Chains A and B, each alone.
Chain A
Amino acid sequence: MLSKGDFSIFISRPLSLAFLITAALLIIIPIVTQRKKLATLEE
């Protein structure tokens, strides 16, 4: 084991961090866009 059980290895290595940020954005962006659309429709 590289990290000896430490979860911070996922954010301390730049490539791993970049991948995880991409994954998070791919989930967050559609949610935010959909909410904005709903808000516009309600107005």
Chain B
Amino acid sequence: MGTLIGTLVGVLPGLGPAAAIALLLPSTFHATPVSATIMLAGIYYGAMYGGSTTSILVNIPGEAASVVTCLDGHKMALKGRAGPALGIAAFGSFIAGTFGVIALSLTGPILSGVALRFGPPEYFAMMIVGITVLTYLSSGSMVKALLIAAVGLILGGVGMDAISGKYRFTYGLQVLADGVGLVPVVMGLFGIAEVLENLETEIRRDVLATEFKNLLPTLKDWKDSAAPIGRGTFLGFFLGLIPGGGAIIASFASYAIEKKVSKHPEEFGHGAIQGVAGPEAANNSAASGNFIPLLTLGIPCNAVMAILLGALMIHGLQPGPLLMTKAPDLFWGTIVSMYIGNAMLLVLNLPLIGLWVRVLKVPYYLLYPLILLFCLVGAYSINNNAGDVLIMLVFGVVGYLMRKFQYDAAPLVLALVLGPMLEEAFANR
């Protein structure tokens, strides 16, 4: 289910995985933590697969990590090679995704063992690094990112102080007594703000009329793509491990490397298959790598992982080194689901390509009201409280203004999640 929704989210331009996970988070409240995590994780790596479809066929990236796929993928499609481009993107993603999951299952237990020796000072310092790296790598000004992270930390302090039991920054408002909830904030910043921003711009979606019968890449395509897939897989995985690093950086870095090592760099930007294979492998491998800091250290390395961390906490689980011993079903269940999910995505992406092309034609005047409805119902259903809806709407407007003034929302979400953990580690040092 998660991979199916993820592919849909990846295919639809204007709706990213962070927004989709935020929208669907309330629907997982009645599910078991394992099922909820599996579905939300599936949306994340499924979006990486789906994003390439729009990049290749419409020249509009379905999500940010597929921006670079437009450069050569769409050019291949214009030359009548949409099938091999889609095929190599799907196979490259599958190979990289599977490698990422194998690496996750091998390194997870080792890292958890190391992290068990961490005390509160190490956790505190590591969370500071996490926030700093994210601000360092965030789009736009670093000063703006640091400012937004500081706002996130302050928002994390709203509500009852866990140590003294006193209320902080609530200004007598009952709605703030339990703190600023992660779900309404994320729904506002990523869901409502995305809709508001997209309303301003008309997105043209001229889907290429092409035959999708020959989706299997030729032997030459495989020869040309094998090394880029290998390099993209390794690069993506290691970039995914770094807090703040992730699929977007991995795909751009892979493209730059492929262009540099190629004997024919002049072909890049004109339909080089290496420019599709490398970045697509890198973004999927990074998506798997992102789970390592979250599941073993309890540190989310990007906004999507921060939302997943919030989801786990809502389900009463604390990601970190003890997760593997306290909830082995969740850790290993998620990993097994990723093996199956990667295979499912190959099945979903290639034979169902015609369906995704039809989905691309869904008009936005139907899609956006639906997203808004999901947001409103979802925010209210968290605690059956209209206050959460209000918080979501406020953050929707804040998120829209942040986009207008080029402030990245990711540091705010990360700081909001890490704020209380940071404070606890500082107090227990």
Contacts and interface: CB of A to CB of B under 8 A. Distances in A.
Interface of B: 118-122, 124-126, 128-129, 132-133, 135-136, 142, 146, 427-429
Interface residues on A, range: 10 to 19
Contact of B119 (A2, A17, A18, A23): A2
15 contacts: A1-B427, A1-B428, A2-B120, A3-B429, A10-B429, A15-B125, A16-B121, A19-B126, A20-B128, A20-B129, A22-B129, A23-B128, A26-B132, A26-B133, A27-B142
Given A10-B121, A10-B125, A19-B129, 4 more contacts: A9-B121, A16-B125, A26-B133, A30-B142
Contacts of B118: 15
Contact of B122 (A3, A13, A23, A30): A13
B143 to A, nearest CB: 9
B192 to A, nearest CB: 31
Nearest to A19: B125
A2 to B, nearest CB: 6
A19 B142 CA distance: 19
A37 to B, nearest CB: 14
A27 B132 contact: yes
B429 A30 contact: no
Contacts of B119: 2, 13
Nearest to B136: A26
A19 B429 contact: no
A27 to B, nearest CB: 6
A22 B124 CA distance: 13
A19 B132 CA distance: 11
A10 B428 contact: no
A26 to B, nearest CB: 5
Q: Which 6 pairs between the two chains have the least Cβ-Cβ distance?
A: A19-B125, A16-B125, A16-B121, A23-B132, A26-B132, A26-B136
A2 B135 CA distance: 30
Given A2-B428, A9-B429, A16 B132 contact: no
Contacts of A9: 121, 429
A9 B125 CA distance: 11
B429 A23 contact: no
Nearest to A34: B142
B399 to A, nearest CB: 25
A2 B142 contact: no
Contact of B124 (A10, A26, A30): A10
Given A15-B118, A30-B142, A23 B428 contact: no
A1 B1 CA distance: 45
Contacts of A30: 136, 142
